[in-house]
Amino acid sequence: MSLLSPTAPVTTTSRLAALKVPPTVQLSFVVIALVIAWSVAPGLFTSHSPINGVPADKLLGPSAAHWFGTDHLGRDLYARVVHGTSSSVSSALIAVVIAAVAGGLIGLLAGFFGGWVDIVLARLVDVLLAIPHFLLAVIIVTALGFDTTNAAIATGISAVAVFARVMRAEVIKTRQAVFVEASFLLGGSRWHILLRHVLPNASRSVLPLAVLQFGLSILVIASLAFLGYGDPPPASDWGLLISIGKDYLKWPWLVYAPAFVTIGTVLSLNRISRWLRQTD
Amino acid sequence: MNNAYAAFAARRLVQALVVILLAYVFTFVVVSILPGDPITNVLRDPQNGFSEDEIRQIIAAQGLDQPVLVQLWTSLTRFLTGDFGLSMRSSRPVGTLIAEVLPSTLILASSGFAVALVLATGIAYGTQLVPKRYGQGLLRGFPSLFLSVPNFVIGLVLIHLFGFQLGLFRVIAPNSFWATVFAAIALGIPVSAQIAEVLIANLDHERAQDYAAVARSRGLGPFRLFARHLLKPSSLPVVTIIALTLGELLGGSLITETVFGRTGIGSLVQRSVSTQDLPVLQAVVSLAAVVFVLVNLLADLVYPLLDPRVKLVGAASRRPTTADDGASQAVTP
């Protein structure tokens, strides 16, 4: 960026321009914006009903009238995907929030206090890591009962360990920084240092991880839905749509269309996460 | 060094045993204490036709009327002697049930792992050898793409293309050679992405080192630089990543087996989930944790012997691999 004269106002647009968002990242943001719009107001994007079909129109291929074709009950698949977005996305959000809050807290305590607290929490995290995370999600959702919210909780718990590790490493790194030492010497209390210095610095590397985990959670929740551990039909979570489509492989768009939407969303999230990590 | 190594090995061994025990306890807590009462649900299921008296007898015989801590203690001591109890559905020993399906899963997981390794090394080494204008960027995009595709989708696409369209295998014969090959590919692709990401990060890191610049200035071409200097230091740390992907293979086989209709640990878990067969779930999950912890212990113990650069300092034995992403940050304890 060129040197600005002291009087030149730094506008928001010039800041954004200085970030130089690569085109693939811009595209990713567009995809995510669309997905969010789908989940907030599905009715704006399709006039077809996701639940009531026209039996005469069953198993039609993709066309101008039915972008993703129709399923075995004559329901518009595009409408089903759009209406299923809210549940797929919000459940992934629940999972990430659980994982980031619980994992972040564990990592924060372990890293900040060290000693016995650290040792005890480290073993807890080891245990969570020792059980394959998908298997962990499966047994937790079994214990809680099969529905999409429980699948989200299970997915969140299975990702706690990842956040705990990253948070702990960041906290330890920040705690040893000179400015933290300075703050301590200036009379900053533990809480002041924790809230004012350690937490904001550590959260910078947690954000890209959270975005990445958001994408992974979509996949895990889709897998749980695929195995039938989410809400039953006529819900139209993406994983469930693919699961229904697998019984109609002669009409492959029933699998490919929802799969394409899932992959596009997760891929965009991965790209944004990588970009956030680089610009950090 | 030797004393340090012995101390390191002893500490890791104790840690591993503690983690295994805790994992068992954790699983026990999850499957037995959380809301819902699967055991009496199964017993009271009218299909089973038990009378109240029989239910009481069964509960007493299984020790389910004991306090939870006593139950935990008996099941833990049994587990340590290799007794996993009886399946609630079929009343057969859980150990036998697992042993029956284990070979099929081992075949799938090991061939899936082979696929993952070949793909990962192919992609990672490709990023170093393929020039920028011939699609290096494309190769670098593969791991991210592979991680974005649910592996049941990969399975379904393979079934659709190669099973239905090309007729290479038949879905009704899931254990045939080609069906196994494609199941292994579906399982291996997501796993390959994790290995490839770390491998690429390591290779890029090594290539930016001074010694690589020296080698280049001496006139070494990209291929010889890669083969002589970059290959070994960047591939060694992958040993530890490989151990970590084991969990991914186990979890992935759960879905892959369902998609391809194979019998195995995955289908056993799925059946046990739908019938809430807790002893089977408890055994499978704890065994998965045992295998995972032991393989990682082995990797940790072998690694310092393979790579002389690793110093065992104090409590922290850090591996040199530090790819800058969440997945591999999770690697270093």
Question: For residue range B36-48, what is the model confidence (pLDDT) as tens digits?
Answer: 565 666 666 666 6
Name every residue whose Cβ is closer than 8 Å to that of residue B19 and which is 6 or more positions away in sequence.
A123, A126, A127, A130, B289, B293
Distance CA A242, CA A208 (A): 28
Please provide the DSSP assignment of A84-133 as one string: HHHHHHHHHHHHHHHHHHHHHHHHHHHHHH-HHHHHHHHHHHHHHHHS-H
CA distances from A142 to A31, A188, B250, B282 (A): 33, 47, 18, 12
- pLDDT at res. A268: 92
Do A135 and B259 lie within an 8 Å CB cutoff? no
Helix (H, G, I), strand (E, B) or coil at A76: strand
Partner residue facing A132 (CB), from B148, B251, B274: B251
List residues bridging with A76 in a β-sheet. Answer: A70
- pLDDT at res. A9: 56
Whether omega before B222 lies within 30 degrees of 0, making that bond cis, reads: no
User: A103 versus B32: which is more confidently predicted?
Assistant: A103
- pLDDT at res. B92: 82
Partner residue facing A249 (CB), from B34, B164, B281: B164
pTM greater than 0.90 (yes/no): no
Distance CA B248, CA B201 (A): 20
Distance CA A238, CA A84 (A): 6
For residue A80 the two structure tokens come to 């089903």
Cβ-contact A149, A233 below 8 angstroms: no
Distance CA A242, CA A224 (A): 12
Cβ-contact B321, B240 below 8 angstroms: yes
Nearest-Cα distance to chain A for B220, in Å, is: 31
From chain B, the residues in CB contact with A164 under 8 A are: none
- Helix B151-158 / helix A199-226 crossing angle, nearest 10 deg: 40
A172 and B CB contact within 8 Å: no
Please name the residues between 112 and 141 in chain A that touch chain B, using a CB distance below 8 Å: 122-124, 126-136, 138-140
For A100-121, the pLDDT digits (tens) are 999 999 998 888 888 888 888 9
Token look-up 């891929």 returns A267
Decide if pLDDT at B316 tops 50.
no
> In a mutagenesis test of the A interface, which of B148, B157, B158, B255 is the best target, namely the one with the most A β-carbons within 10 Å?
B148
Domains of chain B plus CATH, in order, are 1-89+278-314 (no CATH), 98-274 (1.10.3720.10)
- pLDDT at res. B327: 36
CA torsion through residues A176, A179, A182, A187, sign: negative
Cβ-contact A180, A111 below 8 angstroms: no
Do B19 and A130 lie within an 8 Å CB cutoff? yes
Decide if pLDDT at B24 tops 60.
yes
- pLDDT at res. B236: 79
Percentage of chain B modeled with pLDDT above 90: 6
- pLDDT at res. B63: 67
Please name the residues between 55 and 114 in chain A that touch chain B, using a CB distance below 8 Å: none
Token look-up 């029989």 returns B54
Confidence band of B314 (pLDDT split at 50, 70, 90): very low
Do A143 and B288 lie within an 8 Å CB cutoff? no
Partner residue facing A135 (CB), from B149, B150, B285: B285
Of the candidates A111, A129, A123, which has an alpha carbon nearest to the alpha carbon of residue A203?
Answer: A111
Cβ-contact A208, A273 below 8 angstroms: yes
CA torsion through residues A242, A245, A250, A252, sign: negative
Nearest-Cα distance to chain A for B259, in Å, is: 9
Cβ-contact B160, A249 below 8 angstroms: yes
The residue type found at A28 is S
- pLDDT at res. A98: 94
Do B164 and A250 lie within an 8 Å CB cutoff? yes
From chain B, the residues in CB contact with A161 under 8 A are: 330
For A135-153, the pLDDT digits (tens) are 889 888 888 888 888 889 9
CA distances from A63 to A79, A253, B139 (A): 13, 11, 33
Token look-up 């329901």 returns A75
List residues bridging with B316 in a β-sheet. Answer: B313
Helix (H, G, I), strand (E, B) or coil at A65: coil
CA distances from B228 to A157, B124, B165 (A): 44, 16, 44
Helix (H, G, I), strand (E, B) or coil at A194: helix
Distance CA A58, CA B240 (A): 51
Please name the residues between 209 and 228 in chain A that touch chain B, using a CB distance below 8 Å: 209, 212-213, 215-216, 219, 222-223, 226-228
Helical spans, DSSP H, in B130-237: 136-148, 151-158, 177-207, 210-217, 222-225, 231-235
From chain A, the residues in CB contact with B15 under 8 A are: 123, 126
What do you get for the CA distance between the two ends of chain A, in Å? Answer: 17
Cβ-contact A162, A103 below 8 angstroms: yes
A168 and B CB contact within 8 Å: no
For B87-124, the pLDDT digits (tens) are 777 778 888 888 888 888 899 999 999 999 999 989 98
Name every residue whose Cβ is closer than 8 Å to that of residue A100 and which is 6 or more positions away in sequence.
A163, A206, A210, A213
Cβ-contact B144, B325 below 8 angstroms: no
Token look-up 């948070």 returns A167
Which phi and psi (to 5°) does residue B213 adopt?
-65, -40
- pLDDT at res. B317: 41
Token look-up 């559905």 returns B89
Distance CA A147, CA A235 (A): 11
CA torsion through residues A166, A169, A171, A177, sign: negative
Do A242 and B156 lie within an 8 Å CB cutoff? yes
For B160-204, the pLDDT digits (tens) are 888 877 777 776 667 778 888 889 999 999 999 888 988 888 888
Q: What per-residue string of b and e applies to A117-148 under the rule 16 or more CB within 10 Å gives b?
A: ebeebbebbbbbbbbbbbbbbbbbbbbbebbb
Cβ-contact A224, A237 below 8 angstroms: no
DSSP annotation of B63 reads T
Show the low-confidence residues of chain A (pLDDT under 70).
1-19, 59, 280
Looking at chain A, which residue has its C-alpha nearest residue B22? A127
CB pairs under 8 A between A and B: 160
The residue type found at B228 is R
- pLDDT at res. B323: 36
For residue A26 the two structure tokens come to 């811009």
From chain B, the residues in CB contact with A266 under 8 A are: 147-149
Which phi and psi (to 5°) does residue B93 adopt?
-60, 135
Distance CA B111, CA B182 (A): 10
From chain B, the residues in CB contact with A25 under 8 A are: none
Helix (H, G, I), strand (E, B) or coil at B86: strand
From chain B, the residues in CB contact with A132 under 8 A are: 246-248, 250-251, 288, 292
Cβ-contact A253, A184 below 8 angstroms: no
